Structure 1
Amino acid sequence: MAETFYPEKLPLKDIDWVSHIPLIGRSNAALAKYEGIVQGILNPEILLSPFITEEAILSSRIEGTVTTLEEILASESYSGKEMSDARKADIQEVKNYLKAIRSAETELKDKPLYMPAIKSLHRTLPEGVRGRNKEPGVVRSWQNWIGPYGCSMNEAAYVPPPPALVWEYLNNWEDYMDSTEKDPIVQIAVLKGQFELIHPFSDGNGRIGRMLIPLLMYRNNLISRPFFYISGYFDKNRDEYYSCLPGLSKNNDWDRWIEFFLRAVEYQANQYSGKAQKIIALYSVMKSEIPQLLNSKYSVQAIDAIFSRPIFTPKDFSQDTKIPYDSGLKIIRKLEEESFISLRKEGRGQTPSVYEFSELIEITKSHNQIRQDVNDFSRG
């Protein structure tokens, strides 16, 4: 019979800080390098928007949602008739995650990262998809558990604290978030792990827990914009991820989780630094060459549009750039002729043609800059 787990209150008393010193140094240095690159970007919302999409896909993939970067980028341009209902639902889950991430930055300008803001994020995740009937945005008032689909509580792999204690744990979680710890990245690792142990929502705890990582970094001034995502490392090392988190309840093995988290931050920071530099270089080339090619007052709008939406229809392009449709179509054809973009899908009848900015998509998808083998035991 599975026993209810009562997490240790924060702060933790037995972290082996000495053993973590090398990784603390490397993860902070890697994150600082990435932040330096981001601060040098005049329009990070445009250039780094593919990172947000990639995070939404990878975080949702950990929960069993199957879709691709191209499908998400193209989903607003295609009619969707060729997709199954299951695939449409997977895409909608990722879109909900994107919506929640983007709304979070806006909300945090005026609100602290306490439970009201977190509940607002959680409310967005299940809109129109699975979990919509599981009290979205509401801290649970009943006992939940984690295990194979359809299992009873007695068969569960993990039973979080009872609902009567959830708010006590969440208040302690918020107090620790407001405290000063020896290292802020380790503090975020602990906050992420403890959030999973509390399991405050009926569903979606894993996705919210991963979403909290860049928001906590942003809150703690480790990054100037919440554009740092970690699910790529978790997804690449899913077995270790699913092993480390349960270890918190089974063995109280916080040091293993902290080590894994520090490696994840170092890896992803290096990955994103490399990708961001490639995207910046590509953007610089485009800003140098396209104005000469187009000889148009709309050149900058055209460049920004294909960076922010690298799979698009002529109508999308016109709406994003505010360029008249016919003028936008001429620009698209010129960009295609010069191989800046390519035709992804030929239009037929009322169905428009779809174009793509393949070079940007390939940079975003790239995972070969660093090879380091290394994802939420919480599937809820």
Structure 2
Amino acid sequence: MKDKTTPRNRDENEIMGYRDVRNTIHESHAYIPIRPLYILQLHRDLFKRAGLSYGGHFKNVQNYINETRPDGTQFTRFIPVALYETEEAIEAICSSYERTLSVEAVDPLIVIPAFICDFLCVLPFNDGNGRMSRLLTLLLLYQNGYEVGKYIGIGKQIEKTKDVYYDVLQGADYGWHEE
């Protein structure tokens, strides 16, 4: 990735887009508010190189978290918020995050994963929700003085424990719609 090269396909363009957004976060995290507009801009930049029209827009089709069992049958693990609720839900989690941090009663290392869990329960985009959650985690950690992203790749750490990650996410979203 360090060498200058032209991406050969959509996957490589998406990797380059991820790198671009990660670099933006590394360089400008102090100037990126946690607001829906800025989340949309990061999502747009994530897909800009791939030329996909849905980059920078909230979902336009209902999405589900499905799992395929070893026998080939599928089941739905979680149903995110409906299309018409998405923008309001993202606004609500951003506002809640800011309010909670401003009170200084809860450690950011508790507030950050709560925000990310809420983000993943909303599942605001047609594609790229997992990548955006990792990028937002990096952004929030930086903004709260945790510069771990300079030393390790958060996405790589999540990938190593993907099964556990999804099991924990499923447990965390139990009853989410009911608050």
Given the two structures, how large is their TM-score scaled by the length of structure 1?
0.39
CA distance in 2, matches of 1:171, 1:89: 31
Residue 128 to residue 215, structure 1, CA distance change in 2 (3 Å): closer
Give, in angstroms, the shift of residue 163 of structure 1.
1.9
1:80-131 deviations in Å (ceiling 9; x for gaps): 8xxxx5xx433322111011111234554444231211111101222343x8
Match of 1:123 in 2: 44
Superposition map of 1:148-297 within 5 A: 156-178=76-98, 179-180=100-101, 181-223=105-147, 227=150, 229-250=153-174
Which residue identity is paired with 2:81?
P
Structure 1, 239-248 or 228-237: larger mean CA deviation: 228-237
Aligned-pair identity (%): 24
CA distance in 2, matches of 1:136, 1:144: 16
Q: What is the SS of the residue equivalent to 1:113?
A: coil
Superposition map of 1:92-111 within 5 A: 92-111=13-32
Residue 184 to residue 156, structure 1, CA distance change in 2 (3 Å): same
Residue 249 to residue 111, structure 1, CA distance change in 2 (3 Å): closer
CA distance in 2, matches of 1:73, 1:107: 20
Which residue identity is paired with 1:160?
P
Give, in angstroms, the shift of residue 227 of structure 1.
2.9
CA distance in 1, matches of 2:120, 2:94: 14
CA distance in 1, matches of 2:109, 2:19: 24
CA distance in 2, matches of 1:202, 1:177: 23
Residue 190 to residue 90, structure 1, CA distance change in 2 (3 Å): same
For the 8 Å contact 2:117–2:173, the answer to whether it is kept is: no
Structure 1, 208-217 or 111-120: larger mean CA deviation: 111-120
Which residue identity is paired with 1:204?
G
1:160-205 deviations in Å (ceiling 9; x for gaps): 1112222332222112221234221111111111100011111111
Q: State which structure, 1 or 2, has the greater radius of gyration over its C-alpha atoms.
A: 1
Residue 176 to residue 196, structure 1, CA distance change in 2 (3 Å): same
CA distance in 2, matches of 1:105, 1:231: 15
For the 8 Å contact 1:107–1:117, the answer to whether it is kept is: no
CA distance in 2, matches of 1:90, 1:202: 16
Residue 110 to residue 240, structure 1, CA distance change in 2 (3 Å): closer
Q: Mark the runs of 5 or more structure 1 residues left unpaired by the alignment.
A: 1-71, 253-380
Give, in angstroms, the shift of residue 226 of structure 1.
5.7
For the 8 Å contact 1:146–1:157, the answer to whether it is kept is: yes
- Figure out how many residues of one structure are paired with residues of the other and give that number: 166
CA distance in 2, matches of 1:93, 1:241: 22
CA distance in 2, matches of 1:73, 1:219: 26
Q: What is the SS of the residue equivalent to 1:125?
A: helix
CA distance in 2, matches of 1:202, 1:89: 16
Q: What is the SS of the residue equivalent to 2:64?
A: coil
Residue 158 to residue 176, structure 1, CA distance change in 2 (3 Å): same
Q: What is the SS of the residue equivalent to 2:58?
A: coil
Match of 1:138 in 2: 57
Residue 167 to residue 242, structure 1, CA distance change in 2 (3 Å): same
Residue 91 to residue 140, structure 1, CA distance change in 2 (3 Å): closer
Q: Mark the runs of 5 or more structure 2 residues left unpaired by the alignment.
A: 69-73
Identify which of structures 1 and 2 has the higher relative contact order when contacts are C-alpha pairs closer than 8 Å and 6+ apart.
1
Residue 92 to residue 184, structure 1, CA distance change in 2 (3 Å): same
Give, in angstroms, the shift of residue 243 of structure 1.
1.1
